[in-house]
Amino acid sequence: MSDQNIFNYTEDSIRSLDWKEHIRMRPGMYIGKLGDGSSPDDGIYVLIKEVMDNCIDEHVMGFGKKIEVKITDHQVHIRDYGRGIPLGKVIDCVSKINTGGKYDSEAFQKSVGLNGVGTKAVNALSSYFRVKSIRDGKAKEVSFKLGEILDDKPIAKTEEANGTEVTFIPDDTVFKNFHFLNEFVESQVWNYVYLNSGLSIRFNGNRYHSPNGLLDLLSRKTDPESLRYPIIHLRGKDIELALTHGNQYGEEYYTFVNGQHTTQGGTHLTYFKEAIVRTVRNFYKKDFDIADIRQAIVGAISIRIQEPVFESQTKTKLGSIYTAPDEKVTLRSMIVDFVTQELDKYFHQNSDTAEALLKRIQQSERERKEISGIRKLANQRAKKANLHNKKLRDCRVHFNDTNKENRQDSTLFITEGDSASGSITKARDVQTQAVFSLRGKPLNSFGLTKKIVYENEEFNLLQHALNIEDGLEGLRYNRVVIATDADVDGMHIRLLALTFFLQFFPELVKAGHIYILETPLFRVRNKKETIYCYSEEEKQAAMDKLGSNPEITRFKGLGEISPDEFSDFIGENIRLEPVHLNEETSISKILTYYMGKNTPERQQFIIEKLRTEKDMVEESHD
């Protein structure tokens, strides 16, 4: 821009964006990060949530006990059986900012979406968006493209049941190379039914229903064999909680506000943790260390308050301190008073549970004291190792209490060997991408105690690089990517790294921070075009496309890929496979199966896989 243009500040310099332009220009303000669907907090899942929240609000108000959801790789269809949008306001409700029925506090006193933005953002960010409202024998249907009306059908008679139906396809110019992963959507669906007794959701033909709320949630999230005592389940006015302790390391919490899954916690989680510690100390009349009380805890809390204040538009972290804007009842007193009274009562009425919890706390106390000396020495060694110059090639983004949102864009690649780490280091975006270099294969940590994390230099330096020694609150990178060669040794290193995280930091995996980097296996090119292929099928398609005997290169390791090529694979076109644990997955069982003694079941699994590989090779030669 020339100096003359800079100083030419007139009425013509002032521009007003309409609602569609603003959402499309600043989508992150409305739906958080964009992403391609490989992470559960990617924007395409927020689009689903915005539509679903309206359906849930209808159910909460007593209208509609079922919701139907159908999702393919790229299209979403959601149908509720509530009252239906008033027919004369259908267009306004999906295309006019600050328009909705939730401003009437009598109708939607404890709803999440109060700003009239949700479905408008979905509309503006979709290449196709159709809404149909059915109300008392009449229907109104309108379709849009990028927020602009395509087809406005007149009100017509219908015999369909009341409700609202929304179909949309996210805009692939905004959400590049996106696809929906059913396991992430399924997790959303489960959360909705856990928090809404009597609601039934049918997702892609399967029915989801939860009669016991947060008790069902923890039952599905935990391995019954690893629990120290039965899940405690308490309900009160506008509050519900579930709580237990297991054998794993770390803490794990699921928190909700007005049906919204607050994945980053917030004030309600802070007060919940405080109340647990206070109740335990008072009951046992002993000043236990906080870490010993909360070690291996798995908890869930759901509250409902008026006009909750969130720290971002995506509503993942609660900032409220009062239960309602016009009240002086603090959120802290609401949660702490309920927990201290009801949990204390539960302990007195269930002595077996109280005894089991005491033993768990005492075990944590012994383990903490055992490693305290080792921990100090290990931390000193980490400083002497000059971590940031040797093992870790850090990125330029620095995190502190004022800009933790920066971590959303940060990635740590964990790789092995000088050539592989060298290629990634040269190709990376130094602003947001860091590289941690392993020295050879890491130790198999299955069955070992956390003491080994401090005794083993590689493990100790890795936890320091991630800053997860005391939990996920200080996590420096949003994405932790395991980048290994696509051969037997590379797969083994990948498995050992995953074992480390699952054994000692399972919450890192469960929170969706761990990924596997997919790198191309083949390069197919002729004089005019180069195509990188990630499978035999892609290689064959590339050969068919290029024809004329193209040059084919098989990459055996990351170090064989030049930095110039690598920059494309870890940049805008990066392919990441999220490490996702299904609801029913037991970490202890999966680690025992893959990393324990060579059982007959695992031997049979290996044999079957070898047969499959052999068949694939023979077919490729036919």
> In sequence order, what DSSP letters do the residues of 311-329 get, joined into one string?
SSTT--SB---BSSTT---
Query: Residue range 490-506: average pLDDT?
Result: 90
Give the global pTM. Answer: 0.80
Answer yes or no: is pLDDT of 303 > 90: yes
Question: Using an 8 Å Cβ cutoff, are 427 and 563 in contact?
Answer: yes
Answer yes or no: is pLDDT of 613 > 50: no
- Give residue limits of the domains in the chain: 21-209, 214-368, 385-519+557-585, 522-554
Q: How far apart are CA 284 and CA 293, in angstroms?
A: 11
pLDDT of residue 22: 81
Answer yes or no: is pLDDT of 175 > 70: yes
Query: CATH second-level architecture of 385-519+557-585?
Result: 3-Layer(aba) Sandwich (3.40)
Mean predicted lDDT score pLDDT of the chain: 85
Q: Given pLDDT bands bounded at 50, 70 and 90, which one contains residue 541?
A: very high
pLDDT of residue 226: 86
Question: Using an 8 Å Cβ cutoff, are 328 and 318 in contact?
Answer: no
Question: Using an 8 Å Cβ cutoff, are 163 and 81 in contact?
Answer: yes
Question: Using an 8 Å Cβ cutoff, are 96 and 19 in contact?
Answer: yes
Which of 305-309, 310-314, 355-359, 588-592 shows the highest mean pLDDT? 355-359
Name which CATH class applies to 21-209. Answer: alpha beta
Give the DSSP letter of residue 303.
E
pLDDT of residue 115: 46
Q: Given pLDDT bands bounded at 50, 70 and 90, which one contains residue 60?
A: confident
Q: Given pLDDT bands bounded at 50, 70 and 90, which one contains residue 105?
A: very low
72-82: string of b/e by CB count within 10 Å (b at 16+)? eebebebbbbb
- For the domain bounded by 214-368, which CATH number is listed? 3.30.230.10
pLDDT of residue 603: 62
Per-residue pLDDT reduced to its tens digit, 556-584: 778 778 888 888 888 878 888 888 877 66
Q: Given pLDDT bands bounded at 50, 70 and 90, which one contains residue 111?
A: low
| Cα 4–chain centre separation | 48
Query: Residue range 2-9: average pLDDT?
Result: 56
Residue carrying structure tokens 């930091």 = 505
Q: Given pLDDT bands bounded at 50, 70 and 90, which one contains residue 616?
A: very low
Q: How far is CA 39 from CA 7, 142, 328, 330, 377, in A?
A: 44, 31, 39, 35, 37
